[in-house]
Structure 1
């Protein structure tokens, strides 16, 4: 298992404390209620959608519709990531994006991610919260947000990724593959410029949380 730098440091710190260290074994959780009429157990993203909805990480487009196949936007991705990582969304310096007002539902999340250099704006001074995300774009956001160990390789098994000129983009995609967060659309293609759906975004988030939180260490009195 790969740990983030943050978790590795935390683990090391716990070892020097004069306490008994124990692994936490969570009690079996009760089945979550499905609030969405358009999400069924046949949906490949079902478990991620229901679990992260219950935890307040993701939300539907309405209280009863999730729209799993709808394209995910930059604003939604920022909000869901900030929710997943528990970032404070009530403070921070205004980045003054032309198209992001302080009363936007994404404002606090965008500020939190912007201050941590996870996301940025465009050269024209906009953030474009309603712009549709590509699969390659979410790879960078998740890698930076979850502080994943960036892959060193720039040549992958995916021909369409190898064709990308930017080496960092290749590394971010390979990073998600290494952590088991994503896989190709076929055995030899990743489709880096394909639209990311809300269902895919939720599954990626769920896997990222799992990949960086395989165990928890607590001090026991």
Structure 2
């Protein structure tokens, strides 16, 4: 009867593991499962505390919780917030051969989060009898991308438990047959130590907050409870004594470390596959061939199946990711390039030859004009010759009255609007914008009104279009993306794009537009 009572009391003691990277704090509230039997159920709460400025500071984050092999996840439920597919997802899976359950909170669009805390309730079942909760090894990985595009990932093993109020308190790991407890808390604090609910010592911390309790006889599974107090601060800690550590051969340690690295690598790849699925599903296939469209649809379906499978192998994940990436590459083509390998020149003006070449690439990159140019300054053998001939013969662009095209001259906003309107062949939309500097009768007024009514081109101000201003390469990139229906996924680009342009900073207004049109 005494043993049963002890078990019931310990079952409802709550242990809190805290892990913070930067100022995102991850907390795992877990029950004490000492003496738990196979089939027993327990509730865990995975809590992510977010700072007040998290939407300004971070683009996305994910928390992956890896349960000990003795624990089976039965269900999950997000409290207080709502899941949103592709934006805020909860995923449960396991890796074949590892016999461990994985739960992931994936936040790719922070705008859908209403508050400053995510609380995931996880119901679990014990798969085999547990002598001591210190035998369990739960761990999690916190990954995030900040607004500067920097990606970080931190791993934390959760073996001991700490619960603090407004003070600090920590102890070194305690093992069976240890005779002392060594810790640190606030300076000059009163420290009370209880073992299995019996107070065994009252000591004070020194000027540096250090304290030590000696002459103890500690057994595996014993519950240590420590409370430290000063006049204005308090902290408490719960800890279960670990089994005695036996020495292992170096080869065994290397094997364990390699297995753990492989497991976390697999978890990260699964997270990457999930991100690629979400990205691919929103990818425009308007310019894709029937064959490539069918290929990416099949790749998405296959990857979605892998992501939601209750058990999946590393090989399946890698194979699915590779095929999905290849399927995306043949559709998400780079329609613009830099003026050199490491320079895009976003604020420089786009030339008429460059603009014509991008449009030709959009229409048909492999097409050959098989004709000659009517423009006297477009010479055969130049890099842009075929491109200008092609768009000219398609009736998309015109030259000047003197018979020149002026390929190296910067293109005006009116000329660009005319070229794009000729290509799109749209009727004027229901929401035309009246620009005071685009008078009726202006040669490009219809093109400007049509594009602005569809939101493809906008004015330089509320009621001015500035038709004779030269258009920049960044502005052109933005418009080409709209024409191609290429949506910018900032979270995905922050994680996986590779910006090779030294003159394109992340704080540039068109940073993501340039990365997207160049398919970086």
TM-score interval (norm. to shorter): 0.5 to 0.7
> Where in structure 2 are the equivalents of 1:115-134 lying within 5 Å?
115-134=393-412
The TM-score, its normalising length taken from structure 1, stands at: 0.65
The question of 1:203 aligning with 2:203 is answered: no
Aligned pair in 2 of structure 1 residues 68, 117: CA closer, same or farther (>3 Å)?
same
Mark the structure with the bigger radius of gyration: 2
Looking at structure 2, the residues matched to 120 and 198 of structure 1 have their Cα atoms a distance apart, in angstroms, of: 20
Looking at structure 2, the residues matched to 130 and 26 of structure 1 have their Cα atoms a distance apart, in angstroms, of: 42
Equivalence for 1:101: 379
Contact persistence 2:345–2:473 (CA under 8 A): yes
The question of 1:76 aligning with 2:354 is answered: yes
Count of residues in correspondence between the two structures: 162
Counterpart among 21, 43, 56 of residue 334 in structure 2? 56
The question of 1:159 aligning with 2:436 is answered: yes
Question: More helix by proportion, 1 or 2?
Answer: 1
Looking at structure 2, the residues matched to 192 and 137 of structure 1 have their Cα atoms a distance apart, in angstroms, of: 8
> How far is 1:126 from its partner?
1.6
Equivalence for 1:90: 368
Question: More strand by proportion, 1 or 2?
Answer: 2
Looking at structure 1, the residues matched to 426 and 298 of structure 2 have their Cα atoms a distance apart, in angstroms, of: 24
The TM-score, its normalising length taken from structure 2, stands at: 0.29
Q: Which has the higher mean CA deviation after the structures are superposed, 199-208 or 54-63?
A: 54-63
Looking at structure 2, the residues matched to 26 and 200 of structure 1 have their Cα atoms a distance apart, in angstroms, of: 33
Looking at structure 2, the residues matched to 86 and 114 of structure 1 have their Cα atoms a distance apart, in angstroms, of: 14
Looking at structure 1, the residues matched to 335 and 435 of structure 2 have their Cα atoms a distance apart, in angstroms, of: 31
SS at match of 2:485: helix
What are structure 1's unaligned runs of at least 5 residues?
Answer: 1-6, 8-23, 28-50, 212-221
CA RMSD of aligned residues (A): 2.8
Contact persistence 1:133–1:195 (CA under 8 A): yes
> How far is 1:146 from its partner?
2.3
Looking at structure 2, the residues matched to 130 and 169 of structure 1 have their Cα atoms a distance apart, in angstroms, of: 21
What are structure 2's unaligned runs of at least 5 residues?
Answer: 1-285, 287-296, 301-328, 487-520
> How far is 1:62 from its partner?
0.1
> How far is 1:114 from its partner?
0.8
> Where in structure 2 are the equivalents of 1:31-46 lying within 5 Å?
none
For each residue in 1:55-97, what CA deviation from the matched residue of structure 2 results, as whole angstroms up to 9, or x when unmatched?
1311110011000000111100100111112254423210242
Aligned pair in 2 of structure 1 residues 101, 26: CA closer, same or farther (>3 Å)?
farther
